[in-house]
Structure 1
Amino acid sequence: MRLQGRLAIVTAAASGMGRAGVERFVREGAQVAAIDIDPAALDALVAEFGADRITPIAADLSTPEGARGSIDQAVAALGGADILWAHAGMPGPASVETLDLVAYQKAIDLNITSAVLGAGQVAPHMRARGGGAIIFTSSISGLVGSMMSPIYSAAKWGVVGLAKSLALALAPDNIRVNVVCPGLTDTPMKLGFTGRSGDPAEAAANEARIVAAVPLGRLVKPGEVADAVLWLASDEASFVTGVALPVDGGFTAR
């Protein structure tokens, strides 16, 4: 098992890509602290994978108290930390011309500030254990511009820059820092990107247009992103740091 005995923290852990990551981490031998805003979904996660393997932590990562406090709770429960997958994020506002500043700030806080605070909170604990692996979730929108989600894109570009910078800063401590960049993924959140107006026809048309631009011709599956994160967290990627890894069916290869 690739993560036998490792202590892992996953944010936005109770659904979609995060949930798939928890499943893989547990399967590969890790003890997992699962952080999510939805207590009921966390309960379901524990029911499936077992309280002996999963520590559920309910927190709102868009607040500094939630972002920092949840990591502290996770480290205390696990007895340390070897892996952090900072996965929390949200689409955010679609337009800069009619920008809701409250919605804008929440998107920035969740997409990038929570990643900054989580990494800062966990790094000393990884250093104390001789190293670790931090993986952030960005997006293809952190590698190329997004006409539908400019605020999201701006935040996710920031996450890529954060990962590359921390990879340099934390390398002397044997802490590897990488970022995974999924394309449009088949999770409930996809409607936050394709169906902002609430019109199902518009959502379907937007999805079809995105799929048409993917060389492999489909959406990403949550497990495919989780598999990439599992590899980045494992010793198989022991000499990989500072990488922004697209999981996008070739979208960004054009």
Structure 2
Amino acid sequence: MRLQGKLAIVTAAASGMGRAGVERFVREGARVAAIDISAEALDRLVADFGAGKVVPIVADLSTPDGARDSIDQAVAALGGADILWAHAGMPGPASVENLDIDAYRKAIDLNVTSATLGAGQVAAHMRARGGGAIVFTSSISGLVGSMMSPIYSAAKWAVVGLTKSLALALAGDNIRVNVVCPGLADTPMKAGFTGRSGDPAEAAANEAKVVGAVPMGRLVKPGEVADAVLWLVSDEASFVTGVALPVDGGFTAR
């Protein structure tokens, strides 16, 4: 087991990639504090993977108090922290024209601020255990521009910069910091990118456009992203830090 005895925290843990990550972490021997805004989805997570292995924590990570307090609750419940996968995010507004400033701020808060506060809150606990591994979730939109999602792209570029900076700052504490950059994934959030107008035909056309630009010709599966994160937090990646790892079927290889 690659994570035997490890104490892990996963945000946005109850669906999609986060849920796949919880499944893999538990399978590999970790105890997991699963943070999500949905109490019902967390209940299903615990029922599926075991109350002794998964600790549910309900929090709104778009608020500073939620982002900080949820990490503190997780550390208290687990008795420490070796791993943080800061996965929470949202698409945000589709255009900068006539920008809804509240929607903009919420997107920045959830994508960037929650990751920043989570890392800041967990670092001392990892240091006390002799080190740890932090993984953020960015996107291919954090590596190349996104015509459909400029706010999301700006936020995810910030997450990549945060990763590289913290990798340097925390290396001396044996805390590794990396970021995974998925392509468009087949998750509940997909419609927030492809179908913002609510028109199914437009959503299908946008998805086809994205798939057509992927050399491997399909969307990424949640489990494929979780597998990449599992490797990044395991000892198999013990000398890997500051890396932005695309999981995108070759999209960013051009």
Give the TM-score band, short-chain normalised: over 0.9
Aligned AA (2:30): A
Give the CA deviation at 1:35. 0.1
- Aligned pairs for 1:1-254 within 5 A: 1-254=1-254
Give the CA deviation at 1:98. 1.4
Aligned AA (2:233): A
Give the CA deviation at 1:203. 0.3
Q: Please give the TM-score of this superposition, normalised by the length of structure 1.
A: 1.00
- Tell me the secondary structure at the aligned position of residue 166 of structure 2: helix
Give the CA deviation at 1:79. 0.3
Q: Please give the TM-score of this superposition, normalised by the length of structure 2.
A: 1.00
Instruction: Write the distance in 1 (CA, Å) between the matches of 2:173 and 2:198.
Output: 47
Instruction: Write the distance in 1 (CA, Å) between the matches of 2:2 and 2:111.
Output: 29
Instruction: Write the distance in 2 (CA, Å) between the matches of 1:205 and 1:48.
Output: 35
Aligned AA (1:251): F
- Tell me the secondary structure at the aligned position of residue 57 of structure 1: strand
| Unpaired stretches in structure 1, ≥5 consecutive residues | none
- Tell me the secondary structure at the aligned position of residue 96 of structure 1: coil
| Unpaired stretches in structure 2, ≥5 consecutive residues | none
Instruction: Write the distance in 1 (CA, Å) between the matches of 2:60 and 2:217.
Output: 35
Instruction: Write the distance in 2 (CA, Å) between the matches of 1:98 and 1:153.
Output: 18
- Tell me the secondary structure at the aligned position of residue 32 of structure 1: strand
Instruction: Write the distance in 2 (CA, Å) between the matches of 1:78 and 1:240.
Output: 25
- Tell me the secondary structure at the aligned position of residue 245 of structure 1: strand
Aligned AA (2:123): A
Q: Cα RMSD between the aligned structures?
A: 0.3
- Tell me the secondary structure at the aligned position of residue 177 of structure 2: strand
- Tell me the secondary structure at the aligned position of residue 90 of structure 1: coil
Give the CA deviation at 1:188. 1.2
- Tell me the secondary structure at the aligned position of residue 75 of structure 1: helix
Aligned AA (1:8): A
Instruction: Write the distance in 1 (CA, Å) between the matches of 2:62 and 2:246.
Output: 25
Give the CA deviation at 1:250. 0.1
Instruction: Write the distance in 2 (CA, Å) between the matches of 1:49 and 1:151.
Output: 35
Instruction: Write the distance in 2 (CA, Å) between the matches of 1:136 and 1:188.
Output: 19
Q: Would you say how many aligned residue pairs link Structure 1 and Structure 2?
A: 254
